Amino acid sequence: MRIQNSKSWVKYSWRSAVLGSAALLFSAFIVRDALQSLIEPYAPFHFFIVACLFIAYLYGYKLALVATWISALTGSFFFVKPYFTLGPAAVTDVIQFVNFASVTLISIFIIEKLQRTIYARQMVLKIMASRHKISLQRENDRLYFSKKSNEAWTILEEMLTSFDDLILLQFGGASVKLEPLFFALAKNGHTSLKQEEWQTFVHPDDLAFLLVQLAKPVVRSNSASVFTLRFIADADATPHRVQLESFTFLGKPLKILRLANDA
């Protein structure tokens, strides 16, 4: 992966970079000037080399090249004989200048190359970490929807394979859906009733409990409660052992009332 903007590795603003570069050059000049009486006429550019390399490391090659040019003029003017003049230059002066320029420019080039490489690698790592995070999120979503799909299929499979013992269904906020078994237990020859008419066929003592159970929110999917249910049409009021199962199906509560397995 190629990082096209690797040249933008510098973290400092242009103003901060200029002020920092000036401070480094001025510090190099102060130190070299303080040591002038001790090391004269040697090393006129060495402290400037260090300053230029720090500038290249912190602020990039552009200001480092400008700093190299300023250092060459400053070192030649203040610390190369004859002092406080830019000429004429002896052979030793030329050698010192060429040595300073070559070492500084080569070092600046290497530092810039390394900085861009480091920046590019960091960007690649960030991109890879971001993609890995996205991949994990997608995998979590896939597992979530797969789990939901399996839960939905389990509910449908249970309903379709055990359809004969269903008494009634309630999905979401819709009305109760009566199954043929309800009419058989209620001994009602009709196959349809008005919206709340079915309640008249359930024993009043059991109806209140049943309505409370149907109105309860689904706290835990695939939970079940077992109780008895009696119908008005049954002269003996025979209690039928029933089981109310609660699910979360397609994001909505689903209640299934069926005959208990041991009925």
Q: Where are the domains of the chain?
A: 6-133, 162-259
Structure tokens at 206: 């059991």
Q: Which residues of 137-160 are buried (b: 16+ CB within 10 A; e: fewer)?
A: eeeeeeeeeeeeeebeeebeeebe
Which residues have a Cβ under 8 Å from the Cβ of 139 and sit 6 or more positions away?
Answer: none
Give tens-digit pLDDT for 185-203. Answer: 887 666 667 777 888 888 8
Give tens-digit pLDDT for 198-228. Answer: 888 888 888 888 888 888 888 776 778 889 8
Give tens-digit pLDDT for 30-49. Answer: 999 999 888 888 889 999 99
- Please write down the long-range contacts of 234-237, taking CB distance under 8 Å and 24 or more positions apart: 234/185, 234/187, 237/203
Name the amino acid, one letter, at 253.
P
Confidence at 111, pLDDT banded by 50, 70, 90: very high
Confidence at 263, pLDDT banded by 50, 70, 90: very low
Please state, in angstroms and rounded to a whole number, the distance separating the CA atoms of residues 210 and 231: 12
Instruction: Please give the CATH number for the structural domain made up of 162-259.
Output: 3.30.450
Give tens-digit pLDDT for 226-242. Answer: 898 888 866 667 788 89
Please state, in angstroms and rounded to a whole number, the distance separating the CA atoms of residues 258 and 122: 62
Give tens-digit pLDDT for 59-101. Answer: 999 999 999 999 999 998 998 888 888 877 778 888 888 999 9
Q: Residue 250: is its pLDDT beyond 70?
A: yes
Please state, in angstroms and rounded to a whole number, the distance separating the CA atoms of residues 130 and 194: 57
